[in-house]
Structure 1
């Protein structure tokens, strides 16, 4: 069961298929393949068809994407959002499926955020306040998402009332959330206890700027969990921000945190997977102490709100399969891109995969994952 601040909801379960075909009357058919492509028919009594095997160790499949903006009233997608995720739905499959929700789900019309946004000169600053109707939460859940990160710079575009509308809409759609200060979101998958946390530079969330506090929260969460996943909304934004470098990053005068320092610290404290977003571009990945850090998964959806030019128009779906003890069981990166004004779609050219492979090799020459042309992710040997 999934519990957030005492609220319990349903959990999705995945059943494994059978490996032996039972023909009846105690007989089973087994086909063993040879290296030359031939097959050996081993049909016989079911009791002797295969030697007893230990049950496979259970794993948890995580799927994660970057920034999700379904539009901004009145610039809303076709069919009221019903078909918004249709072209990426096959990739949104897992036990825990997360994204970074960057638009409040609210019908409120007043945003004090942009009323008070001024440059040091006194001129009005560039300001974006997004919102989509609360009913859009239904399509988020129907797409396969089980949990959304709300620790970011847009969740409060319409203040606390708009954020309250958002969490209520998600809950009504059967989608959980994480990111409030002190919030530990828990679930259980086939008996494996999972925790998801969200961090950002903003005071109402768990902070990426206060690393000692972040590590204390991760340790507390890990004390009674098998797997800990950290979402970090960290780093500067823009097409020229694809590389990860040591040190803090700033954007529009804000301290956006030190991605490497924060990610390494939470892994040291017990995190098993770290997923980044905020730069609006893909960034490299690394294995640190055997745990995958994806520094940014880029723009996943941004209908009529986000630029689709160059690296701003591509993203990816991360799949990470983890054993109970946090060790890597397998994974992949599926490339996506923005089409038709910012709708998400799978990218047959796998541009995102090639970009992440290049960035990982450049920024993490000793710790980059092995990334195949098809997006397969693994530890280097």
Structure 2
């Protein structure tokens, strides 16, 4: 009788585990976040360090997401010394955010971060180390620097693999395509869902459109976003999230896998141009099945104004911009957009 009971219990647990696995995954993603910098002066920080309201409008929109991604455009450090070469600090764009500000990012619900960008090493490895320590203590996940090239973690029975790339020193360099492919393939062998982040593409309102060519900016090779996105999906990626141009770009679907070529700026308090498309701050939420195939998505449109945080945009300008760019730059894309920001295939 006891043996029968144990066998029945084992079969019940096995059956329950099989059917308790999540069938649908929701991934939320935003672009660049930089809550202010104390370099070269503290005037570039929110008054009295009150940055708790900067991300507050985001919270209710990602609380149902399994993972919520952002690119940290700069390190969190209190005393690290400047490493970036600057002849005139007043016009030098180097970002060092006080460590206690990270708690506000943690409270927002964001829990997956790229460190692969052109500002992460402005204050050297000590600043990167302090940022890694803050993220680790918060229970969130991160990757993108040589010290942390990828991350593998489990949430609600789903195993995620994450990696991030940029063309910048100290980060995973996307010009090293052999290493790029090896990392993604290894993650695909391990994880149910593989997310890849790219800091790539030329910057500014003149570079909203996807050219499908290698993009140069101030003499730097910023990669070919169209080609690189397809390369990592061929290697096993399920979701590709781009940022770096500081403006939104088109969405795409390749082999039923979702691509955002750039999510632009999201919450960049100071020292950033927020005019026109630079101030559009999209949040994208996508749903995939357990194998990573795209099901449907939604763009929640926010707007930024200089010296303020994000504000929900009733005119849905970020969604309209992404829809327009997708139609013009990738006319063969099968994604269908609705006026309320929802999209599907």
| TM-score for both structures, normalised by structure 1 | 0.80
Structure 1 range deviating more: 140-149 or 211-220: 211-220
Structure 1 consecutive aligned stretches of length 4 or more whose deviation exceeds 4 Å = 54-57
Counting only pairs closer than 5 Å after superposition, residues 1-381 of structure 1 correspond to structure 2 as: 58-73=23-38, 74=42, 75-78=44-47, 79-93=49-63, 94-108=65-79, 110-115=81-86, 127-181=92-146, 183-339=149-305, 341-379=307-345
Preserved contact between residue 86 and residue 143 of structure 1 (Cα < 8 Å): yes
Render the CA deviation track for 1:123-145: whole Å, top value 9, x for unaligned: x9963101111011111110001
For 1:201 and 1:340, locate their aligned partners in 2 and report how far apart those are by CA, in whole Å.
28
For 2:186 and 2:92, locate their aligned partners in 1 and report how far apart those are by CA, in whole Å.
37
Aligned length: 320
Preserved contact between residue 274 and residue 306 of structure 2 (Cα < 8 Å): no
Partner of 1:51: none
Structure 1 residue matching 2:85: 3-state secondary structure? helix
Deviation, 1:312, is: 0.5
Render the CA deviation track for 1:306-349: whole Å, top value 9, x for unaligned: 11110011020010111111112321111111035241222111
Structure 2 residue matching 1:235: 3-state secondary structure? coil
| TM-score for both structures, normalised by structure 2 | 0.88
Gap change, CA 1:341 and 1:88, over 3 Å in 2? same
Deviation, 1:243, is: 0.3
For 1:216 and 1:235, locate their aligned partners in 2 and report how far apart those are by CA, in whole Å.
22
Structure 1 range deviating more: 302-311 or 270-279: 302-311
For 2:101 and 2:32, locate their aligned partners in 1 and report how far apart those are by CA, in whole Å.
16
For structure 2, the 5+ residue unaligned runs are: 1-18
For 1:234 and 1:131, locate their aligned partners in 2 and report how far apart those are by CA, in whole Å.
22
